[in-house]
Amino acid sequence: MTESHSKHILSIMVDNEPGVLARVVGLFSGRGYNIESLSVSEVDSDKFLSRVTIVTSGTKNIIDQIKAQLLKLIPVHNLIDISELKTFIGKELILIKLDVKKKSVSKIYKHVKDYGAKILFDNRTEMIIEFSGTPSEISSMIKKLRSFNIIELTRSGLVSIALGKDYIKK
């Protein structure tokens, strides 16, 4: 019987110093593991800490190996597999640039309103839309807007946070 692959969201608290992200990413690439999305930002400037959120997939054995190797890295303070928790929130940000035709503006505005998105720029020939949602909501919005000639888009990658505080390792 083959072990199934599942998606995991790893939240890693690390020192905010040069080379740390390269070491974390190098651990993945050096072992042939894929990173589906990566987000990193400073979360505590007083303690010089950053949170790295990595979405990856693999068998339970592979994920356990990844977590064990990450925890061996000196700049890693803690690691939480958020996807193993009962409750968490995960969101992405997307910016979409559209080539706008005059006749399609009202339809675009309707989609923006339906999704709760924002229009950041509109000069009636080009429009930039901002939307924050779950990965499936983001994909759904992209699908809706494909017919309006997407010039460019960029996604932030998933950021997640667990509900409650029982999971926090001091």
Contact 89, 160 (CB under 8 A): yes
Which tens digit of pLDDT belongs to each residue from 70-122? 999 989 999 999 999 989 999 999 999 999 988 889 999 999 999 999 999 99
Query: Are 20 and 73 in the same domain?
Result: yes
Average pLDDT value for residue range 121-149: 95
Please indicate, yes or no, whether residues 15 and 73 belong to a single structural domain of this protein.
yes
Based on the structure, what is the number of domains in the chain? 2
Q: What is the CATH number of the domain that holds 130?
A: 3.30.70.1150
- State the Cα–Cα distance between residues 168 and 90, nearest whole angstrom: 17
Indicate if the pLDDT at residue 169 is higher than 90.
Answer: no
Short-list 66, 71, 67, CA closest to 30: 66
41 and 21 in one domain?
yes
Residues 28 and 66 in one domain: yes
pLDDT value at residue 5: 85
The answer to whether position 42 is within a domain reads yes
> Which conformational region is residue 19 in: left (phi greater than 0), alpha (psi within -120 to 50 degrees), or beta?
left
**pTM score over 0.75:** yes
CA 129, 104, 111, 156 torsion-angle sign: negative
Domain that holds residue 141: 89-159
